[in-house]
Structure 1
């Protein structure tokens, strides 16, 4: 049974429908997510404002306590009374009354606007002269007491170690009570004049302790709950609750002390939005808002989004079939035409493009252009087949020419031998070797050893043409002879040295071919003692600049330089320098290869 394949029309409608489903799903999800994000942002904004206000209220309370205790440093009346000793009971009674009046002035009156109920106890250091006139004790009441008993308490030692900084502590025997303590130091002992005079004075006057209910901290928090389920609390640096509106607050993990100021956490199985603000003493002000309270208003939004998505889906199904039918009509026509071409091999086909310059119209035009090119390519393939056969015939003919030249040179060689002309025999032999070397693949890389062998043949020919006019010396280390290089890089340079240098000078000429290795680079030098020429013109010609250098002199060296750079890169190549005494030096740089065992010595 033949399977039914869906048509392009149905596929297009299905694609439209799928795209519509994706768009509806994404838009619905984004709308719902955006609404929740707006609600969350609004809640966070309100929460941040409430937290900022609560933090400011708590900071003002703690700063008020801090400033009130600092005022005791500046009270000379208190310091004078505590620093003197008297045996007059009436004077002692009056002094104690005056101390309590000063305490009321500096402490009770400033704190009355911040705290509704509190205690202030000043535990005077036993070293102070007036301390023996005071009652001793370690409980917290009101007034001045001898601190001899309180010195044994941990909170007293902490206050002394804090050296004038405000500390806090709790009393396990009095739950719900919070205490703040500060060491009061003698301002006279801190005077620079007394320090310079070396006057010994009592440093610590005593410790003042302010006690109040933790509910005093919660007064500014009680009216700032965003929802009935909002949890507000103050915890210490270890995460232990200092104050909470909830008598049974959720357990607070210590790891949250390093968390982000606003984050989502799960506590005791419930998800909360948490906001925290740092306070004094390492405390943290925390707010826990259940996420269910935030998401409670999103139910109606889910309903509206769902109805809108369903309506859009129904409309999209109808539109998908209508639009896909309109789009695929010209494409179905093109498919039928291509099927006709496949079965009939008709190439003279032309489709009238639909109206408009859209993608379908471009597809029709491309189809017409393609059919035109196919017809042209068929014609070109036929003509290229004819030209290929002609090229094969010319190649076979060209293969005959080298053999003809080899045979001709061989005939000249035998004729010279029979005639006893040894110079012609020697020239012909060297010329044949060079011809075979040249006729190899032009792109083939050769060794310096092969290149020097051909130079010997060339020098042999030139020595016969210019008898006793020059000598050639070779000085190359063995490790250079296996270095690979392009073919015929020496011959044009030797030719220029003979024709343009030695031939134009008087006396016997000398050509030195030397080589060395410098940092993985083979440096080859061809030096002559001829008439020489402008080094600047030679190097400028190699760089492609126009100058007075003759083309016949410069064509070969430019060819050598270009072939080396094409093979190895622009960092290598040919350049010229002045000779040691006279003449010029052609210097070739190519990458160094693997050393071998053969060597060249003196001629």
Structure 2
């Protein structure tokens, strides 16, 4: 607001000075003309001067700005980025500069959100096979397993098919918390086939049955599964003995708080501080980095999506102690169905 007010005051001052200079010049001409030229000629001269002044002001305020915008649009169609405009030999007004800065910010956020969505799907699928073919194949395996009396294989295959079907649908949509938790339960069944009794999962929430049902609250799709996967592969898998996963859900008047905890190996303090610093902001460079570990990308991806959709005050923060475990806290706005 202060910038807008200062910009407006600067423009007003500029136009006031121009008008004052014109009035002073006009009075000087009138004084000179009144002593040497007949009155009707004075009026004619003033009319001509006023006409040329109006044309000049119109040229400065309209045509030059139009040419400026035309040149910028030409550069944009030639493939220049918005940030490149400021490096060109073009005089850009404060108004146009402000518009370009806003446009650049919007384009950066749009690009980052698109990268986040693509990586969310990629990290969940991990390959480029036809998802419908995969789903139909899994259903066929499940049927064969049931006929052969292999109930364990049938259950795991059903969970895998349901998990893939959920993953391949539109990631843009908000889903209910109940949908996300169901996806986690299917993912857990799949992981049990590998880890067996070494892995346990508990989901805790307090649903009082009032007007706000916690299971009907909305959140972005594929928010929880990458965090749970990260907890298993970077925390529990390296642990000797049984590992426990716990998802605790709570809410306040305006926030949904989901805490995913594991009693795995934990994170070193230096690495934890570095990761939390990255989570404070969203960055396209971090999203496109090939050097970042898969677990880091998954968490940064989820965090970026949350911040881009809901704002900087929401997102992820991590608490961890080596050889004790890790808590990943996700903060979201309350969105009712």
For Structure 1 versus Structure 2, the TM-score category normalised by the shorter chain is: 0.5 to 0.7
Structure 1 match to 2:335: 593
Structure 1 match to 2:152: 423
Structure 1: tracts of 5 or more residues without a match: 1-22, 33-300, 324-358, 374-399, 597-603
CA distance in 1: counterparts of 2:170 and 2:314, whole angstroms? 23
1:309 aligns with 2:39: yes
Question: 8 Å contact 1:455–1:491 — kept in the other structure?
Answer: yes
1:505 aligns with 2:239: yes
CA distance in 1: counterparts of 2:49 and 2:261, whole angstroms? 87
- Quick one: which of 212, 215, 219 aligns to 1:481? 215
CA distance in 2: counterparts of 1:477 and 1:317, whole angstroms? 81
Deviations 1:132-154 (A, max 9, x none): xxxxxxxxxxxxxxxxxxxxxxx
Structure 1 match to 2:224: 490
Question: 8 Å contact 1:28–1:305 — kept in the other structure?
Answer: no
1:423 CA drift (Å):
2.6
CA distance in 2: counterparts of 1:416 and 1:483, whole angstroms? 37
What TM-score comes out, normalization by structure 1 length? Answer: 0.33
1:508 CA drift (Å):
1.8
Deviations 1:233-272 (A, max 9, x none): xxxxxxxxxxxxxxxxxxxxxxxxxxxxxxxxxxxxxxxx
Structure 2 match to 1:446: 175
Structure 2 match to 1:584: 326
Matches within 5 A, 1:385-534: 401-478=130-207, 479-534=213-268
CA distance in 1: counterparts of 2:185 and 2:42, whole angstroms? 92
SS in 1 for 2:216: coil
Deviations 1:526-553 (A, max 9, x none): 111112222541342353399xx96022
CA distance in 2: counterparts of 1:498 and 1:315, whole angstroms? 87
Structure 2 match to 1:565: 307
CA distance in 2: counterparts of 1:450 and 1:423, whole angstroms? 23
SS in 2 for 1:433: helix
SS in 2 for 1:531: coil
Structure 1 or 2: more helix by fraction: 2
Aligned length: 231
1:569 CA drift (Å):
1.0
1:306 CA drift (Å):
10
SS in 1 for 2:318: strand
Matches within 5 A, 1:117-156: none
CA distance in 2: counterparts of 1:520 and 1:314, whole angstroms? 70
1:538 aligns with 2:280: no
Matches within 5 A, 1:347-358: none
1:418 CA drift (Å):
3.0
CA distance in 2: counterparts of 1:497 and 1:317, whole angstroms? 81
Structure 2 match to 1:9: none
1:459 CA drift (Å):
0.6
What TM-score comes out, normalization by structure 2 length? Answer: 0.57
SS in 1 for 2:196: coil
SS in 2 for 1:513: strand
Structure 2: tracts of 5 or more residues without a match: 1-21, 53-62, 78-128, 208-212, 280-285
Flag the structure with larger Rg.
1
SS in 1 for 2:166: helix
Q: 1:309 to 1:541 in 2, by over 3 A?
A: farther
Matches within 5 A, 1:280-295: none
CA distance in 1: counterparts of 2:230 and 2:27, whole angstroms? 85
Deviations 1:548-584 (A, max 9, x none): x960221111111111111111111111113699211
Structure 2 match to 1:556: 298
* RMSD between superposed Cα atoms in Å: 4.2
Structure 2 match to 1:381: none
1:31 CA drift (Å):
5.1
CA distance in 2: counterparts of 1:471 and 1:558, whole angstroms? 25
CA distance in 1: counterparts of 2:155 and 2:49, whole angstroms? 95
CA distance in 1: counterparts of 2:245 and 2:316, whole angstroms? 17
